[in-house]
Amino acid sequence: MTPSGEELRARLREILGADAVLTAAADCAPYLTDHRQLYHGAALAVLRPRTVAQVSQVLACCNAARVGVVPHGGNTSYCGGATPDESGRQLVLSLQRLNRIRSLDAANYSLVAEAGCILGQLHAAAGQAERCLPLTLGSQGSCQIGGNLSTNAGGTSVLRYGMARDLVLGLEVVLPDGRVLDALSALRKDNTGYDVKSLFLGAEGTLGVITAATLKLFPMARDVATAFTAVTDVRAAVTLLARLREATSDRVSSFELIPRIAVELTTRHIPQVTDPLDRAHDWYVLCEVSSSHPADGMEELLGNALSAALGDDLVRDAAVARNERERAALWKLRESIPEAQRKDGASLKHDIAVPVAALPDFLARASAWVSANAPQGRLVAYGHLGDGNLHFNLNAAPGVDAQRFLADAPRVGRAIHDLVCEFGGSFSAEHGIGRLKVGELEHYANAVELQLMRAVKTAFDPHGIMNPGKVLRA
Ligand code: 2HG
Ligand code: ZN
């Protein structure tokens, strides 16, 4: 017999202790709305376990009761992946109290962290051991590693170090029936059958709950050079990227495309952000090259490559950071673009990827479509040119009604995504599917892929309790 909400809560209090089962509206509120305020859910309770054993008992209990469980990390998802639905019948499972760094092995270049560790906290721990964890996200002060791995987060270092999935050596996962998969290996080589753990990376909590991970570390960057560069156009930016890779022995760690409007929005809305250059240009690149050798001449290599590009009319101007403060200011401009967009008003977001070389043609075609078919939006297209991932976003033009603008999201999104598809690209490069893009996945994934995804879901979670309605519709 299905237990009532009150019976279930009583059982969960027995497992977790009363203080770890939140039910008061004010306590639960922060867990019920997503970062973009797209969804406002309800929940039977918010659970805050302290141990893996407790997570295991909670899932076994919910599996038996057929109650949906929504894993919740730092709540920085762009697709509503960590927000419960409106039924009030689901439970939110916060991982924030599982926040220990279990070990760090400098010689093996690895660390083992629990899901609730804040990404920035892991950066600091790696740094203390003279190592680097290269996953770099604007939200690193609050996002949690469990969420980063569950969504296979990207960020600004992907071109050199890969996505979150590429940084994982091992995982510990609690399965929906309560079993614990201990695959916390620290091996670089392990060819022993199917790579089961990799299925949880990017699964957004729909197959189980990641409770800990072994992550790869790298040598610390000790010679870093950063430049904010005005480029002639987007094609010139793509050429510049290849040149920098060649000139630096492939040590480009970030290569971010920034349009003029993003400089205008950040300087207007974000305190202390200023335009690094004297004159306005249409397109910029924030690029960073780095080496673990403290005197590898990174600044000289970057400077020489930029001077040559200036002579070849790829680059119009550049500001090279002279110290850490200037470097931080350049990164602040880039990282506060989403915040500036939010302060400017309603926006439609398209987290797309195409092959890097196709970006200029894609941008030209997609921008022409927007001018002709969505004049109520102002294009704010920026992002990770180095790996082909663009945030092809639109902000409501001044005077445009926000609700009407947002209501047009499906039409605009479908047109942009159709074009992405034509270019062999992805409609969700780094933000995942969550609840927002379930329909797009059904539309664009090929039939065989979808069948396999459903088969995996059924095999891992036969009663459909894990993050119901996310990634795949029930
Ligand atoms: C970024 O690259 C984030 O800044 C957010 O992925 C992008 O707001 C966005 O669309
Ligand atoms: Zn991004």
Q: What is the DSSP string of 296-315?
A: S-HHHHHHHHHHHHHHTTSE
pLDDT per residue as tens digits for the range 132-179: 999 999 999 999 999 999 999 999 999 999 999 999 999 999 999 999
pLDDT of residue 474: 82
Q: Where are the alpha helices (DSSP H) in 118-199?
A: 119-128, 145-150, 158-161
Nearest CA-CA partner of 42 in 86, 79, 6: 86
Please state, in angstroms and rounded to a whole number, the distance separating the CA atoms of residues 163 and 430.
8
The one-letter code for the residue type at 110 is S
Contacts with 43 (C-beta within 8 Å, 6 or more apart), sequence order: 28, 31, 32, 70, 84, 88, 90, 91, 92
For residue 378, the CA-to-ligand 2 centroid distance in Å is 19
For residue 392, pLDDT beyond 90: yes
For residues 364 and 283, the answer to whether their CB atoms sit within 8 Å is no
For residue 1, pLDDT beyond 70: no
- Residue among 35, 36, 78 whose CB has most ligand 1 atoms within 8 A, to mutate: 78
Domains and CATH numbers, the chain: 101-219 (3.30.465.10), 223-337 (3.30.70.2190), 345-431 (3.30.70.2740)
Provide the 3-class DSSP secondary structure of residue 422.
helix
* Protein residue with its CA nearest to atom 5 in ligand 1: 338
Mean pLDDT, to the nearest integer, of 442-464? 97
* Protein residue with its CA nearest to atom 8 in ligand 1: 338
Confidence of residue 81 (pLDDT cuts 50, 70, 90): very high
The one-letter code for the residue type at 461 is D
Name residues contacting ligand 1 (CB within 6 A): 138, 337-338, 349, 383, 391, 393
**Token pair listed for 367:** 């921008």
For residue 340, the CA-to-ligand 2 centroid distance in Å is 14
- 10, 20, 48, 54, 345 from 17: Cα distances, Å: 10, 6, 10, 10, 43
Name 378's bridge partners. Answer: 395
pLDDT of residue 438: 98
Please state, in angstroms and rounded to a whole number, the distance separating the CA atoms of residues 360 and 237.
9
Please give the span between the terminal C-alpha atoms of the chain, in angstroms, as a whole number: 22
Please state, in angstroms and rounded to a whole number, the distance separating the CA atoms of residues 239 and 209.
42
pLDDT per residue as tens digits for the range 51-76: 999 999 999 999 999 999 999 999 99
For residue 154, the CA-to-ligand 1 centroid distance in Å is 10
pTM more than 0.85: yes
For residue 2, pLDDT beyond 90: no
Confidence of residue 370 (pLDDT cuts 50, 70, 90): very high
Confidence of residue 8 (pLDDT cuts 50, 70, 90): very high
Nearest CA-CA partner of 25 in 49, 41, 4, 12: 41
Q: Which helix (H) or strand (E) holds 391?
A: strand 389-396
* Protein residue with its CA nearest to atom 9 in ligand 1: 338
pLDDT per residue as tens digits for the range 247-269: 999 999 999 999 999 999 999 99
Residue-averaged pLDDT of the chain: 97
DSSP-assigned letter for residue 201: T
pLDDT per residue as tens digits for the range 266-284: 999 999 999 999 999 999 9
